[in-house]
Structure 1
């Protein structure tokens, strides 16, 4: 006898659709049961006509704790994630202080215990002190993050030589290094040429050329060091071209974000500060190229870069557009934004699962328990009703940012239940029960 049986629905994995019922015991999927096969459980959930998706894995989010909790914290950020069907959040290390030492990582792990609504994996930053890496590896963070532009000097690897030396420190290690592609020389040079503080000056400081250069350097360095890398959000045609031509050089994956698949630089005119982030939004031509790459399978992961700020921070006056705090919320809207792409015919539901569940789970060392509906995996399950529609609204957002750039958008599906390790944590859009999320680490 199972503890829970979800019956009558169609399972959606990255490989396709399958009609099976799901038996759950001990927080894991115990079996996939053929329709009509006799099975009993203490709790039976009738999901006839619905789709069952694995809980989403957001590989790029900023929960803002410690030190920046006026923007977001573990509780509010994972509340947003749960409502959006993201059952695993991979938290970036750029808080205050940045998570750069084993002590800081251990403290952050302890800080989150008992305060998170979904599972959270922590990522740590590569500092210029490479001697810190071995002790960090002992704690099995889901990834390390290496920055090549636009960060404090202690964490800046501005040259190809510096990137290569840093990656060599990971040769032979079972981990993944995330790299944000940029070029500090272009950022500095463009700023010197145009100090006007305009939106155009911000865009010029982080052009597609910088993205393409960062991608090429990352792949060459990873090839030399024989390390596994993940290239953070790309959004330009030139970046896509560099990636498509060079990606075979190394063991590498790449991500983009929902906002980069929908918005262009023209949208700064209407949403302004709320859309300010790095990389800057690009031209319609770039968005078309990125969408084509997504449809063609050249993009491995879609993640949110959830980066909320207090509303007063976004609304305050700044001398330059570049000074506006960068980032926007996204955890609560990842599923709906991706469903919009399904509605448009750019991708299909199995692609959504591949991009936002299976691939991030496998790439970040969680593939044995997350990212798919299969026997032995954690029972992180979404019930999605395609017979209903849902509308994204600012008023429904629980992130402390209090808004979404997708306000007013409607998609032809509705998330009705979210399960984390077999326990229903969201029902009909409302959080239910206690905080049962765990801190998770990279699989050995």
Structure 2
């Protein structure tokens, strides 16, 4: 091959779902693009050579559902934590405006795009108000909106109006299932699909609705798989973290977040302040103390005191995400005969793996490699679910794979130790195994959002969702 080589990775186990490749290869990078993947590339013309023997070299992970805003600080550690976890592209799933506000003091070389959660709407909300709110999110730099139904539910009519408005405008819309009629459970998931009425919709973290609130979790899993099969225009992801995330705010003496109430009901506690207090004392509820390090949840008296010290800004967590349903949702596929299977060849039912992390629980790689070790996924399939498919959801055709011409987003992994040894984004080392070395990054936005990002001085690029998996399934 000719031409310059800025960065050459030698002797790595290269894993790429797009090319169905799992073999020892050299990979060359020039600028911000991959230029060659070959059995051997001469290092003579390379400005920098990284000996990667013994490591797996994967496309940078595309985390399709993260929460990056730190409501307790002017900066966010999420960018750095994602880079350490091998993520090079992150999709903010509730507060893209907040991500942009914290960008200057937080960015670490990632590509970021995102949604803005809309407020809860009641039956008196005019359709013009919803359209105005969606338009404002686009102008502020978002690629779409999220219905935050599980936490703060709107009426079913309002949720349907949001989906219809997004469809009319050709923008992304995701739904954390739940309305004033149905909660964040299997019934809420069914309702969300029905409200879409055949229009494009992203159902967030499918496994989060399969906690046994209505039926046995295995029965709920089977029903959810069939629901997604019956509605191919719905895209989805499952996350692999055992702890959930919800909000500890109190309004008029009541728990404000409906997910907190659901979690308490699930274990037989009353869905009120007394029930939450007892859940802390029993070790079921967790809170997160303020601190500069990796968030560590606390429970018992310490957790209760942490929550009481900051009910307005506190984040709570409960161990309600069943590994069983998370793994089954991740692995479910349809064979050539139309049968649902959980290993072997077939098309995956749930499109992608996410973390629902950002500030914490960035566990895609760790939990994904557990599934590889158990034989539930091959390493190529893990890369498909964590890299290529999530990129396709948003039409990011130059990400999630290692073909020549793709963005030079790569992660080097010690598979035995399940450790990220380096992360490269746009051809630049942003994490070297010890330190975060990346700065800046790029925001992907809607055409309407470019002016706002110009004003902020944030590097950006407008994307077109027309070629996204989200829109192609129409």
TM-score by length of 2: 0.65
Q: Judging changes above 3 Å, is the alpha-carbon distance between structure 1 residues 420 and 172 closer, same or farther for their aligned structure 2 residues?
A: same
In structure 1, which of residues 287, 290, 293 is the aligned counterpart of residue 332 of structure 2?
293
Could you tell me which residue of structure 2 aligns to residue 229 of structure 1? 202
Indicate whether 1:336 and 2:359 are aligned.
Answer: no
Q: How far did 1:12 drift?
A: 0.9
Instruction: Encode CA deviations 1:308-363: one digit per residue, 9 max, x unaligned.
Output: 5xxxxxxxxxxxxxxxxxxxx212x4322222222222222112212221111111
Q: How far did 1:285 drift?
A: 6.4
Q: In structure 2, how many angstroms separate the alpha carbons of the residues matched to 1:360 and 1:291?
A: 13
Q: Judging changes above 3 Å, is the alpha-carbon distance between structure 1 residues 385 and 280 closer, same or farther for their aligned structure 2 residues?
A: closer
Indicate whether 1:375 and 2:404 are aligned.
Answer: yes
Could you tell me which residue of structure 1 aligns to residue 87 of structure 2? 86
Q: How far did 1:27 drift?
A: 1.2
Could you tell me which residue of structure 2 aligns to residue 257 of structure 1? 239
Q: How far did 1:81 drift?
A: 0.9
Q: Judging changes above 3 Å, is the alpha-carbon distance between structure 1 residues 232 and 158 closer, same or farther for their aligned structure 2 residues?
A: farther
**Would the aligned equivalents of 1:211 and 1:234 in 2 still touch at CA under 8 Å?**
no
Q: Judging changes above 3 Å, is the alpha-carbon distance between structure 1 residues 222 and 279 closer, same or farther for their aligned structure 2 residues?
A: farther
- Secondary structure of 1:214's match? helix
Could you tell me which residue of structure 1 aligns to residue 107 of structure 2? 116
Q: Where do residues 149-168 of structure 1 align in structure 2 (5 Å cutoff)?
A: 149-151=150-152, 156-159=153-156, 161-168=157-164
Q: Judging changes above 3 Å, is the alpha-carbon distance between structure 1 residues 142 and 51 closer, same or farther for their aligned structure 2 residues?
A: farther
In structure 1, which of residues 211, 228, 242 is the aligned counterpart of residue 223 of structure 2?
242
Q: How far did 1:239 drift?
A: 4.4
Q: In structure 2, how many angstroms separate the alpha carbons of the residues matched to 1:228 and 1:288?
A: 23
Instruction: Encode CA deviations 1:75-112: one digit per residue, 9 max, x unaligned.
Output: x1111111111112212334xxxx6xxxxx4x853641
Q: In structure 1, how many angstroms separate the alpha carbons of the residues matched to 2:57 and 2:148?
A: 37
**Would the aligned equivalents of 1:29 and 1:377 in 2 still touch at CA under 8 Å?**
yes
Instruction: Encode CA deviations 1:274-293: one digit per residue, 9 max, x unaligned.
Output: 49967861667656754663
In structure 2, which of residues 355, 359, 365 is the aligned counterpart of residue 304 of structure 1?
355
Could you tell me which residue of structure 2 aligns to residue 315 of structure 1? none
RMSD (Å), alpha carbons: 3.4
**Would the aligned equivalents of 1:216 and 1:242 in 2 still touch at CA under 8 Å?**
no
Q: In structure 1, how many angstroms separate the alpha carbons of the residues matched to 2:324 and 2:162?
A: 35
Indicate whether 1:429 and 2:404 are aligned.
Answer: no
**Would the aligned equivalents of 1:215 and 1:239 in 2 still touch at CA under 8 Å?**
no
Q: In structure 2, how many angstroms separate the alpha carbons of the residues matched to 1:289 and 1:336?
A: 17
Q: Structure 2: which 5+ residue stretches go unaligned?
A: 122-128, 211-216, 245-262, 268-278, 287-296, 299-314, 334-341, 447-462, 465-474
Indicate whether 1:347 and 2:351 are aligned.
Answer: no
Q: In structure 2, how many angstroms separate the alpha carbons of the residues matched to 1:341 and 1:8?
A: 25
- Secondary structure of 2:320's match? coil
Q: How far did 1:142 drift?
A: 3.8
**Would the aligned equivalents of 1:10 and 1:51 in 2 still touch at CA under 8 Å?**
yes
Q: In structure 1, how many angstroms separate the alpha carbons of the residues matched to 2:8 and 2:330?
A: 38
Q: How far did 1:145 drift?
A: 0.6
Q: Aligned residue pairs: how many?
A: 354
- Secondary structure of 1:42's match? coil
**Would the aligned equivalents of 1:215 and 1:242 in 2 still touch at CA under 8 Å?**
no
Q: In structure 1, how many angstroms separate the alpha carbons of the residues matched to 2:330 and 2:200?
A: 28
TM-score by length of 1: 0.69
Could you tell me which residue of structure 2 aligns to residue 130 of structure 1? 130
Q: How far did 1:149 drift?
A: 3.4
Q: How far did 1:374 drift?
A: 1.7
Q: In structure 2, how many angstroms separate the alpha carbons of the residues matched to 1:215 and 1:126?
A: 18
**Would the aligned equivalents of 1:240 and 1:289 in 2 still touch at CA under 8 Å?**
yes
Q: Structure 1: which 5+ residue stretches go unaligned?
A: 100-104, 188-209, 309-328, 390-412
Q: In structure 1, how many angstroms separate the alpha carbons of the residues matched to 2:158 and 2:420?
A: 45
Q: Judging changes above 3 Å, is the alpha-carbon distance between structure 1 residues 69 and 342 closer, same or farther for their aligned structure 2 residues?
A: same
Q: Judging changes above 3 Å, is the alpha-carbon distance between structure 1 residues 174 and 8 closer, same or farther for their aligned structure 2 residues?
A: farther
Q: In structure 1, how many angstroms separate the alpha carbons of the residues matched to 2:425 and 2:57?
A: 13
Q: In structure 2, how many angstroms separate the alpha carbons of the residues matched to 1:219 and 1:278?
A: 27
- Secondary structure of 2:203's match? strand
Q: In structure 2, how many angstroms separate the alpha carbons of the residues matched to 1:239 and 1:425?
A: 41
Q: Judging changes above 3 Å, is the alpha-carbon distance between structure 1 residues 36 and 79 closer, same or farther for their aligned structure 2 residues?
A: closer
Q: Judging changes above 3 Å, is the alpha-carbon distance between structure 1 residues 230 and 279 closer, same or farther for their aligned structure 2 residues?
A: farther
Q: Judging changes above 3 Å, is the alpha-carbon distance between structure 1 residues 108 and 291 closer, same or farther for their aligned structure 2 residues?
A: closer
Indicate whether 1:171 and 2:164 are aligned.
Answer: no
Indicate whether 1:144 and 2:125 are aligned.
Answer: no
Q: How far did 1:421 drift?
A: 1.0
Indicate whether 1:25 and 2:35 are aligned.
Answer: no
Instruction: Encode CA deviations 1:384-414: one digit per residue, 9 max, x unaligned.
Output: 233x42xxxxxxxxxxxxxxxxxxxxxxx43
Q: Judging changes above 3 Å, is the alpha-carbon distance between structure 1 residues 183 and 108 closer, same or farther for their aligned structure 2 residues?
A: closer
Q: In structure 2, how many angstroms separate the alpha carbons of the residues matched to 1:175 and 1:6?
A: 38
